Structure 1
Amino acid sequence: MQVGLYFDLRNPPDRRQDPSRLYGFTLEMCQEAERLGADSIWVTEHHLFDDGYLPQPLTFAAAIAARTSRVRIGTGILIAPLHSAVEIAEQAAVVDIISGGRLDLGLGAGYRVPEFELYGADQSKRYTVTDERVRELRRIWAEGRVTPRPVQDRLPIWLGYLGPQGARRAGLLGEHLLTAFGPNAVPYTKALAEAGHDPAVARMGGGIQGWVSEDPERDWPVVGQHLAYQLDSYRRHMVEGTGAPTPRPVDPDRIRNHKAPKGSLDYFHYGTPEDVASSIRVLVGDAPVDTVYLWASLGGMPEELVARHVNLVCTRLAPLLRSAA
């Protein structure tokens, strides 16, 4: 199992720092993660967050590509309905070229009303549009409709569909499934076979909500504080534009102790590298998951804590998961 790190470049209003320093430090951590043996680095997309959540993942992926030489670089995810297929095809090709063929293109349907309004996109058709973007990308690259071409003959596309229905959609398209939740392997592999794809090509991977620490009890007051900020921010921005009330603040202690997730925001694997590795193995089960990645930072953490976590993920957690696989 390959192990990576995930960056969103949040800059919380109550502890805002110079954005240039934040972006520069994040690139330094990407270089350090590669030096320490990380397999992948992932970035993601959101718009209009009050903490400056990264809005253009392929732009930042190009910067990571220019500063690294081995580690794979993924988008987890790019919101497909907000972008034309031609735009995605061209930008992805540029990143793939700069990186020497190291891009993993993760696409998702999105969910936030303000983002669809910002781009003038139709939210009601977001899943259909996302599926069509995948088909369009494959046609564009196969037919050479844009230049330059990606370095990889078949650039990996990952579908960030988290539930069983989404897993089925990814299988019907014959693409990778960007979730590490083991039970989704069943609808995914069944759909691969149904659509005439070889089930042996099934490939899953995804983000793990978790944090590793050499001294979990010592670190929890700080980690829990930043986890609460991160989850509350997601939940608050999730309902913007819907008319729904702002959700009540989360209890980080309850989230920490919940290990059987129903969604991506209701669990958190926390503990020593051995503890977290064990939890991840249970979450994955016997599904064809070959890539997982964890947050490098939570909600504007201090640089010292981020650097320590990057080191632990790369040097302690990753070897445990590789040997288990």
Structure 2
Amino acid sequence: MTEVGLYFDLRNPPHREGSAARLHGFTLEMCEEADRLGAASLWFSEHHLFDDGYLTQPLTFAAAAAARTRNARLGTAILIAPLHSPVDVAEQAALVDLISGGRLDLGIGTGYRTAEFELYNVTDRARYSRTDDMVRQLRQLWSADGVTPLPVQDPIPVWLGYHGAQGARRAGLLGAPLLTPNHESWPDYRAGLIEAGHDPTTGRMGGGIQAWVTEDPERDWPLVAPYIAYQVDSYRRHMVHGTDQPLPAPVDPARLVTREPRGPLSYFWFGTPEDIAERIRGLTEGAPVTTVYLWASVGGMPEAMVAEHIRVVTTRLAPLLR
């Protein structure tokens, strides 16, 4: 059984109508609606210095969502570990867990953008080992001699947003759940679990699916395609921000929807609930994937499109995978 959740980044690009304040309020309304419709989880991302107002503080927003929801788990996907103090993360995460009654999943990763490390005045050197260390420190900080108050969960699950064979093995060595839904990572993840003496049956995987689900693909493709293009182009443009690398060429969304996943920006599926469910089954087959999540909104979509997508994901796609 694979549970299905939704993913939010709070982009407010110039082509979107409405203020940033309205967007934040509307997103909380959509979290509440998704929770009412049975979404298994709600996830919040982190980036800095994006020109479209990308969410910068996922735990702060998760606390607000915790107060507006009752059942959905709340996750960070991901919090950029090397930018933050382990003590600060431990305390903030504990607070979200308390407000939510024990519903937090803390996803952390290394980060990759030069501009973000410069903004926080920290080095990007050894960022993988520093992220590994945060897992160990958080577990210690949530013990009896750590921070107060303690979270509800003992401990809060700390997922590692690692990609590739080496990242999967690192997560396994730490006995941490792996935040990728691709079954190709399972052998290396499993090997790491066994190498470190962890029971491989305790392994858990999950993660984001780049996809848009619609009841009527022919009708909706001309409406959705420009937002997919904006979203992927924006990531690619900000990836080289602060470096001497040239701006990447614009993507063709029609080609993205036909590609198989080789990384988060290599594809963006588009199709009916049945089509997307089948693709997700193929991507996760044979791996201990317990949860996946899809974008609620892509590239600053109008509110009506976001609300409809949340309805289709929660009431049409989720039952097919559950």
Is TM > 0.5 for Structure 1 vs Structure 2? yes
Q: CA deviation at 1:16?
A: 5.3
**How far apart, CA to CA, are the structure 1 residues paired with 2:184 and 2:224?**
29
Partner secondary structure for residue 21 of structure 1: helix
Partner secondary structure for residue 300 of structure 2: coil
- Percent of aligned positions that are identical: 65
Paired residues for 1:70-85 under 5 Å: 70-85=71-86
**How far apart, CA to CA, are the structure 2 residues paired with 1:227 and 1:296?**
12
The answer to whether the 8 A contact 2:108-2:159 is kept is yes
Give the structure 1 partner of residue 253 of structure 2: 252
Partner secondary structure for residue 308 of structure 2: helix
The answer to whether the 8 A contact 1:77-1:107 is kept is yes
How many equivalent pairs are there?
Answer: 321
The answer to whether the 8 A contact 2:15-2:300 is kept is no
Structure 1 regions of 5+ residues with no counterpart? none
**How far apart, CA to CA, are the structure 2 residues paired with 1:264 and 1:288?**
20
**How far apart, CA to CA, are the structure 2 residues paired with 1:10 and 1:74?**
18
**How far apart, CA to CA, are the structure 2 residues paired with 1:223 and 1:265?**
17
Give the structure 2 partner of residue 317 of structure 1: 317
Give the structure 2 partner of residue 134 of structure 1: 135
Partner secondary structure for residue 12 of structure 1: coil
Paired residues for 1:1-325 under 5 Å: 1-15=2-16, 17-258=18-259, 260-322=260-322
Name the Cα RMSD after superposition.
0.8
Q: CA deviation at 1:15?
A: 3.0
**How far apart, CA to CA, are the structure 1 residues paired with 2:17 and 2:116?**
23
**How far apart, CA to CA, are the structure 1 residues paired with 2:200 and 2:206?**
16
Partner secondary structure for residue 264 of structure 2: coil
Larger mean CA deviation between 141-150 and 245-254 belongs to 141-150
| 2:41 alignment partner AA | S
Structure 2 regions of 5+ residues with no counterpart? none
The answer to whether the 8 A contact 1:114-1:241 is kept is yes
| 2:94 alignment partner AA | A
Partner secondary structure for residue 15 of structure 1: coil
**How far apart, CA to CA, are the structure 2 residues paired with 1:248 and 1:107?**
29
Partner secondary structure for residue 13 of structure 1: coil
- TM-score, length of structure 2 as denominator length: 0.98
**How far apart, CA to CA, are the structure 2 residues paired with 1:143 and 1:241?**
42
**How far apart, CA to CA, are the structure 2 residues paired with 1:16 and 1:110?**
30
Q: CA deviation at 1:144?
A: 2.9
Deviations 1:241-299 (A, max 9, x none): 221000000000000111x2211111122100000000000111110001000000001
**How far apart, CA to CA, are the structure 1 residues paired with 2:136 and 2:290?**
24
Query: After the TM superposition, which segments of 4 or more aligned residues of structure 1 sit over 2 Å from their partners?
Result: 13-17
| 2:309 alignment partner AA | H
- TM-score, length of structure 1 as denominator length: 0.97
